[in-house]
Amino acid sequence: MEPYKAGKRAIQGIAHPIKLSSNESLLGAGPKVRDALVRASETLSLYPDGGCEMLREKIAARHGIDANRIVCGNGSFELLSLLGLAYLDEGSEALYSEHGFSFYKLVAQTNGAVPVSAPDIGMKADVDAILEWVSPKTRIVFLANPNNPTGTYLTNKEVKKLHANLPPDVLLVLDGAYAEYVCRDDYEAGIDLVDASQNVVMTRTFSKIYGLASLRLGWCYGPAHIADVLNRIRGPFNVSAAAQAAGIAAITDTSFEKMVVEHNEKWRIWLNREITSLGLKTTEGAASFLVIHFDKKGQKTAAEADRFLQSKGLILRRLQAYKLPHCIRMTVGLEDANRAVVAALKEFMSR
């Protein structure tokens, strides 16, 4: 079992590199969040609300869902771990797509379960392949939608097909860490499916679009019986008061969220156009990043590109751990960062 490896943070010899390796929001948190954190600093000696009642109410009001079926956690990582703790055991199986989020494998292994990956078609999860790999031992199917690291997504129709053909005792976990970024009419994060089912849970995070990665805040929405289980096994004060205050401010600041979405959409499209004009292939996807494909051998490999980019103070993410050794993932950044990457890639390709 190998520990989860986060994106590279530093480059030796470069004081202030541009970090585009972890899909953090370079726009940061909104002004209302920062004000809320100042106010929260006045009560640091008090325990937080163990049930995150006000935060759950704000999330419920924003999305039109039942607050009693929301569970908040120390990032969506904790919630995924709790789902594994509750529903996986030794000899059972957890199923996910070939290029799916690497943490799903760790959730399975932590609980003695067997991690099983179903082959993708290209860079996208394949519903038929996932269903083909379902066995009597399958307990959870994890689906990141949009997927990290590829950025591709399954349509609402495809997700419903997947769910409709799963046994009722298999839990479908829809990981919507990047759901807020998607601007596609055929996409649905999972709320409707949760409301219509007894074996679907949707997880979300404040780390990405809201810029709260350092505070560790996530939430999930599921059937009442699953919310009850998670509330029984989670820690009593698993979400800090600061994180709750920031989350309340973030979920209600719709104008800031809209600005982040517009920035991301504009620059992801721009990056895709500029990078492909250099003769490189990309997978643009629908999230806050894109994947750049390099030659499998020669002078223009992903390894060579990564070394060159780092020499320019640019940190992107190699994808060997996701069985994509010829690819590099780039977070959409601020304008200067985006232009710097394109300029560096242009120089690299012309060498």
Q: Do both 39 and 179 map to the same domain?
A: yes
In the predicted model, is pLDDT for residue 25 greater than 90? yes
Residues comprising the chain, all counted:
351
pTM, whole model, 2 decimals? 0.95
Give the distance, in angstroms, between the CA of residue 87 and the centroid of all CA atoms in the same chain: 21
In the predicted model, is pLDDT for residue 208 greater than 80? yes
Mean pLDDT, range 280-309, rounded to an integer = 95
Q: pLDDT tens digit string along 315-332?
A: 999 999 899 999 999 999
Nearest alpha carbon to residue 338 among 273, 262, 261, 258: 273
Expressed as residue numbers, the domain containing 169 is: 31-252
In the predicted model, is pLDDT for residue 4 greater than 80? no
Nearest alpha carbon to residue 322 among 104, 102, 127, 153: 102
- At 279, the pLDDT band (50, 70, 90 cuts) reads very high
CATH code for the domain of 196: 3.40.640.10
- At 7, the pLDDT band (50, 70, 90 cuts) reads confident
pLDDT of the residue at 351: 87
- Longest distance between any two alpha carbons in the chain, whole Å: 59
In the predicted model, is pLDDT for residue 231 greater than 80? yes
pLDDT of the residue at 119: 97
Element holding 172 (H helix, E strand): strand 171-175
pLDDT of the residue at 190: 96
In a domain, 213, yes or no: yes
Residue 286 to residue 153: CA distance in whole angstroms = 7
Residue 2 to residue 310: CA distance in whole angstroms = 25
Mean pLDDT, range 74-98, rounded to an integer = 97
CATH code for the domain of 327: 3.90.1150.10
Mean pLDDT for the chain overall: 96
Q: Do both 196 and 127 map to the same domain?
A: yes
Element holding 77 (H helix, E strand): helix 75-87
